[in-house]
Chains A and B, each alone.
Chain A
Amino acid sequence: MSQERTAPGATGAFVEDPEAPEYSAYGGDWSEIADEAARLGQQRIVVNMGPQHPSTHGVLRVMLEIEGETVTETRAGIGYLHTGIEKNMEYRTWTQGVTFCTRMDYVASMSQEAVYCLGIEKLLGITDEVPERANVLRVLMLELTRIGSHLVAIGTGGNEMGATTVMTTAFIGREDTFRVIEMITGLRTNNAYIRPGGVSQDTPEGAVEYIRQMIPKVRQKLDELVDLQLQNPIFKLRLQGVANLDLAGCMALGITGPILRSAGLPYDVRKAEPYCGYETYDFQVPTSTESDAYSRVVLRLEECYESLKIVEQCADRLDQTVGQPVMVADKKIAWPAQLSLGADGQGNSLEHIRHIMGESMESLIHHFKLVTEGFKVPAGQVYQAIEGPKGLLGVHLVSDGGTKPWRAHFRDPGFNNLQALSILTEGGQVADVVVAIATIDMVLGGVDR
């Protein structure tokens, strides 16, 4: 990095500067807002909510101006979890980038992995060469992740409204999806399972039976959530007619996902622009025209049922494709070792280690080069979108022809949808702010990246 260039507004003052900024919890616009409120008299009350608040889904900060119990102005403050993931990815190989982007929206880890890998495959021009079994495994993982994400949305939403049972029930269901995910990927979250060109490893023995055992358990928890919530008069009073956003509002704010579908537009990237073979699966896109918080909970539950249908179909296809490859055939891209389940947990395949260490010097060189240097991706840029659990998840990838991304930018649906917080809450009750935040279902890791 050259420091001589003095671009306006780029890197400037650092520690040697005697006037270097100091950070305090009281700085920024908050004190200005508070001073202004004091100046204007007692009628105007500005309440700061977060970034450490049990009901803001993480480190979201909301600045509310209230009059009695009515919210007159809402402003969201984000950035408290900004991690610089996109910049970090510029210093890692394309394959290593998977481990970074999976930590963005950590409730739906594998959505980012999938969109990122699909983007790389488009850059490489190998989209059609990804084997069928890899695509089936990707779809399986995406749908399990979707169920998990929706269950967290419903569960924490219920918890924030004061119903702990909703959360415990939802999390039991989510743990069942995690059991399958863990069996196949080796990790509960942040899996780094979907890799450029395929997936990191094939299913272990008995995985399909395990998936089939899991499905009724999750369905039972979904049924319980339906019984617990949807006819509950308190729940209905709390959510029906709250946090309304009609279709025009959704379009103006670029809202996607369950919120858009609750306003009546059946836009789902899985149907509109199928990827990973989604066009071959049988599933519905539930919609509603109520456009309130209640309808979004209903939609999320219905989507979970649809996802279970897809998971069932995936299980059948896994049976049909046993033994087929899960990674592209091109050895210049495919990770040389297929990981396998050893006695001590996950690890490299012993067969591969024996081969590179004992038999073939060339294989060892190839392994070393591919793992340390990575593969080169031709220069260019692509945009890839998938339907994440929270909406349209996009990635803009730029390659400079090297082994590392020149720029990777993620359009997290939560980041975009959170812009709607003001319009969802202004004019409503203070207590409904929590409902609005829960209904947007953003994850701050994805919002801030």
Chain B
Amino acid sequence: MSDSQDLTGTGAAKGGPQMGDRERITLINVREGMFGAKGDTSGYDLLVTPVQMPGASERPYGEWFDGAVNVLEELLGERADAAIEYVVVDRGELTLHIAREHLVEVCEHLRDDQDLRFEMCLGVSGVHYPADAGRELHAVYPMQSITHNRRLRIEVAVDEADPHVPSITSVYPMNNWHERETWDFFGIVFDGHPSLARIEMPDDWVGHPQRKDYPLGGIPVEYKGAEIPSPDNRRQYR
């Protein structure tokens, strides 16, 4: 159905693309089987499909994207190659994958340069890709420019074992609660945040509930002899 799935094409082999590609593509999931609670109900357990995000785009990106990336590269100077890992243009939206060391600087440029002028960061959304080894946790920042009426997305990927991302509250104070929320739900530590405390869950909660390895936590429902498992333990299509 999608072009992106064809990128892996070769199918059955677990693990998906080569390591060289890995850095330029997000591996979302490795899907096993088609239907069932665990494994495949048919018993044929060889259906293994790696699923990927649309990969890096080549220039020209189209629309205003080239200009914006050019300006950003110019401002970053020699650090541009290290800072911008790759650029994805998909469904009319621009995504910049940024190395975390350079995130704050990139944000400063995005906010302050008159040709970029992204005044608003619309929060940060954590996404957990357990299959994307070494880059499991992604922090996704949508940026909104009211001046130019544009939007782009900054994506920072970090290792689950070292879930540190610099806080951008010094550049975008509005991100204060959003970063707390993402810490709460995903365990991404935003270094330099003024008070990185839990915000939604109780203070003494254990774990980060919206990660993929955290169970949904539902209980089976008993009804007159029948027991209906919680939604995450039911048979389902995948």
Complex: A in contact with B (CB within 8 Å): yes
Tell which of A9, A380, A416 touches B208, judged by Cβ atoms closer than 8 Å. A9
Measured CB to CB, the nearest residue on chain A to B204 is A21
A86 and B211 alpha carbons, distance in the complex (Å): 11
**Stretch from A175-183, A234-242, A251-259, A316-324 forming part of the interface with B:** A251-259
Query: Are B160 and A91 neighbours in the complex by a CB distance under 8 Å?
Result: no
Whether B2 is near chain A, meaning CB under 8 Å from some CB there, is yes
Query: Are B208 and A403 neighbours in the complex by a CB distance under 8 Å?
Result: no
CB under 8 Å from chain B, chain A span 396-423: 396, 398, 400-404, 406-407, 409, 411, 415-416, 418-419
Evaluate whether A409 and B208 lie within 8 angstroms (CB atoms) in the complex, with A381-B53, A383-B153, A401-B5 already known: no
Tell which of B120, B125, B160, B197 touches A7, judged by Cβ atoms closer than 8 Å. B160
In the assembled complex, which residues on chain A have CB atoms less than 8 Å from the CB atom of B232?
1, 91
A79 and B209 alpha carbons, distance in the complex (Å): 13
On chain A, the number of residues with a Cβ less than 8 Å from chain B's Cβ atoms is 70
Query: Are B174 and A419 neighbours in the complex by a CB distance under 8 Å?
Result: yes
User: Would you call the interface of chain B mostly helix, strand, loop, or mixed?
Assistant: loop
CB under 8 Å from chain A, chain B span 49-72: 51-54
0/1 interface trace, chain A 1-43, chain B, CB 8 Å (1 if under): 1110101111111100000110100011100000000000000
Tell which of B93, B120, B172 touches A383, judged by Cβ atoms closer than 8 Å. B93
**B132 CB to nearest A CB, Å:** 11
A309 and B4 alpha carbons, distance in the complex (Å): 44
On chain B, the number of residues with a Cβ less than 8 Å from chain A's Cβ atoms is 73
Whether B86 is near chain A, meaning CB under 8 Å from some CB there, is no
CB under 8 Å from chain A, chain B span 199-236: 199-217, 231-232, 236
The A-B contact count (CB < 8 A) is 197
User: What is B's interface to A at a CB cutoff of 8 Å?
Assistant: 1-5, 28-29, 31, 51-54, 90-93, 95, 119-123, 125-128, 130, 136, 140, 142, 144, 146, 149, 151, 153, 160-161, 163, 172-178, 181, 187, 197-217, 231-232, 236-238
20 residue pairs A–B, Cβ–Cβ below 8 Å? A1-B215, A7-B213, A9-B207, A10-B207, A23-B204, A29-B197, A79-B199, A84-B216, A86-B210, A87-B209, A253-B173, A256-B120, A272-B149, A372-B237, A374-B237, A378-B2, A382-B91, A383-B151, A400-B28, A400-B51
Whether A267 is near chain B, meaning CB under 8 Å from some CB there, is yes
